[in-house]
């Protein structure tokens, strides 16, 4: 049994019911034994579904199918069906058939139009998906649908995750409450430039597909696309959001809604990092003073993905020279002699040289914390970027040198 990440939240949050959303889970035995590995979410009539997806050129049949269905008219109910244990990626025509078979089976059992059935699969790549085992559980799933099943759903979609991930918030828009709730999975093969992992967001707000999709795209860049565990990008990353409209509150132009949604997405994204394979440290990288935001992001990601930076953090070594290295290799415009680096409030380097009052003792003490901030100022312009990552430890090797067996 894998130990729960030391960075895990104390407890799974109490998730609110979202009007128009019901969940069910089952043990289909896709790969794992004696644990839930399938979840079905049913979404009320008229629910608007939007999503962001991995940009991998080898993305899975499920992702391609979700992309094709994204933006179709929001008539009738909808469903999201997810299995863990097998990603149905790189499974050729058999993978496409598995997705179509499952969507049709959901329609048969629940009456939901198969063009409104979104599926995700997560787990090993390249093995045929035993979709019959999942289809055999659809009757049970349809019967068990419950408005309080979100936590169980979060558990059913886990693979190497050591804890389920959920977040929610309720805000008041035009005097009425609107709820946003989400679940996510992800622990390894986590890197930017994608929709990311499996993330499902639900709200009872009313909003059309166009503005919802635009909001998701923008917020994904500042949340799920701003985290990295190991620089490896999944073939299956999917974020789907369902707006059921059950609250009757239109949020199309609500800045409060966008802010609240950003909060839930960032919470989930950080939970994914906190469950990074083998992670013992949670690290925020803040880059300022870049020529532009794109350069700042290059530097931040170069630091966050550097094996040498990440192993130094694991070893609690204030090895800021490796941060200099990561800035240098990033490809961003940088002037060594304007570069400043800090660990939290501790200035370690200024203007291309060790800070005059740098104390190795203070820096070493800081590195013993579980949550760290690395700050880099390039001294060139006003470009900035924040990304989140974790350290690289023996635990990562343990997990990934023996994942399939």
Known catalytic residues are: 196
Residue (149 or 188) nearer to a copy of itself, CB:
188
Binding-residue pattern over the window 152 to 181 for a copy of itself, x denoting contact by CB under 8 A:
------------------------------
Structure tokens at 307: 């094996």
Q: Does 361 bind a copy of itself (CB under 8 A)?
A: no
Q: How many CB atoms lie within 10 A of CB 23?
A: 25
What is the C-alpha separation between 294 and 287, in angstroms, rounded? 11
Residue 365 interacts with a copy of itself (CB under 8 A): yes or no = no
CB nearer to a copy of itself: pick between 119 and 306: 306
The pair of structure tokens assigned to 303 is 């630091």
Q: Which C-beta is closer to a copy of itself: that of 116 or that of 185?
A: 185
Report whether 187 belongs to an annotated binding site.
no
Tell whether 196 is in a known binding site: yes
Shorter beta-carbon distance to a copy of itself: residue 112 or 332: 332
6 touches a copy of itself by CB under 8 A:
no
Within residues 180-239, the interface with a copy of itself by CB under 8 A covers 188-189, 191, 193, 230-235
When asked if residue 93 is in the footprint of a copy of itself (CB under 8 A), the reply is yes
Using CB under 8 A as the binding rule, whether residue 317 contacts a copy of itself is answered as yes
- Kindly state whether residue 404 participates in binding a copy of itself, applying the rule CB under 8 A: yes
Query: Is residue 58 part of the contact set for a copy of itself (CB under 8 A)?
Result: yes
Least distance in Å: CB of 124 to a copy of itself? Answer: 6
Nearer to a copy of itself, 242 or 273 (CB): 273
The reply on whether position 53 binds a copy of itself by CB under 8 A is no
Phi, psi of 45 (to 5 degrees): -50, 135
* Residue 121 interacts with a copy of itself (CB under 8 A): yes or no: no
Q: How far is the CB of 36 from a copy of itself (least distance, A)?
A: 23
Residue 266 Cα to chain centre, angstroms: 9
- Burial class of residue 220, CB neighbours in 10 A (0-12, 13-18, 19+): buried
Binding site members for substrate: 159, 185, 196, 277, 400, 405
Binding site members: 159, 185, 196, 277, 400, 405
Q: Which residues are near a copy of itself by CB under 8 A?
A: 54, 56-59, 87, 89-94, 124-128, 188-189, 191, 193, 230-235, 305-308, 311-312, 314-315, 317, 319-322, 324-330, 332-337, 339, 349, 351-354, 392-394, 396-397, 400-405
């Amino acid at each position: 049994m894998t130990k729960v990440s030391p960075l895990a939240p104390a407890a799974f949050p109490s998730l609110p019911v979202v009007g128009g959303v019901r969940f069910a889970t089952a043990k289909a035995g896709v790969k794992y034994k004696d644990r839930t590995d399938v979840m079905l979410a049913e979404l009320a009539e008229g629910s608007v579904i939007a999503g962001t997806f991995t940009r991998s050129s080898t993305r899975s049949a499920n992702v391609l199918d979700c992309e094709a269905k994204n933006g179709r008219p929001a008539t009738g109910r909808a469903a999201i069906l997810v299995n863990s244990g097998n990603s149905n990626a790189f499974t050729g025509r058999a993978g496409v058939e598995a997705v179509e078979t499952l969507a049709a089976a959901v329609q048969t059992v629940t009456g939901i139009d198969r063009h409104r059935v979104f599926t995700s699969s997560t787990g090993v790549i390249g093995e045929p998906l035993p979709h019959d085992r999942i289809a055999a559980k659809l009757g049970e799933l349809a019967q068990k649908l419950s408005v309080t099943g979100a936590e169980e759903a979060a558990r059913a979609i886990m693979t190497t995750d050591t804890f389920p991930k959920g977040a929610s918030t309720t805000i008041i828009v035009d005097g009425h409450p609107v709820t946003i709730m989400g679940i996510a999975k992800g622990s390894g093969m986590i890197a930017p430039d994608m929709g990311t992992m499996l993330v499902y967001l639900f709200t009872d707000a009313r909003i059309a597909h166009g503005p919802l999709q635009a909001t998701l795209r923008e917020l994904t860049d500042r949340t799920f696309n701003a985290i990295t565990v190991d620089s490896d990008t999944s073939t299956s990353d999917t974020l789907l959001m369902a707006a059921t409209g059950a609250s009757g509150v239109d949020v199309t132009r609500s800045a409060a809604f966008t802010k609240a949604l950003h909060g839930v997405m960032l919470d989930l994204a950080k939970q994914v990092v906190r469950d990074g394979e083998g992670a013992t440290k949670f690290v925020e990288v803040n880059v300022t003073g870049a020529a532009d935001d794109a350069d700042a992001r290059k530097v931040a990601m170069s630091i966050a993905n550097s094996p040498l930076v990440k192993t130094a953090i694991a070893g609690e070594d204030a090895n800021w020279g490796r941060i200099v290295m990561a800035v240098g290799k990033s490809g961003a415009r940088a002037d060594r002699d304007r570069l400043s680096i800090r660990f939290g409030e501790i200035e370690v380097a200024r203007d291309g040289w060790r800070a005059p009052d740098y104390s190795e003792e203070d820096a070493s003490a800081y590195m013993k914390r579980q949550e760290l901030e690395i700050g880099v100022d390039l001294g060139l312009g006003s470009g900035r970027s924040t990304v989140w990552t974790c350290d690289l430890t023996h635990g990562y090797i343990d997990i990934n040198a023996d994942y399939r067996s």
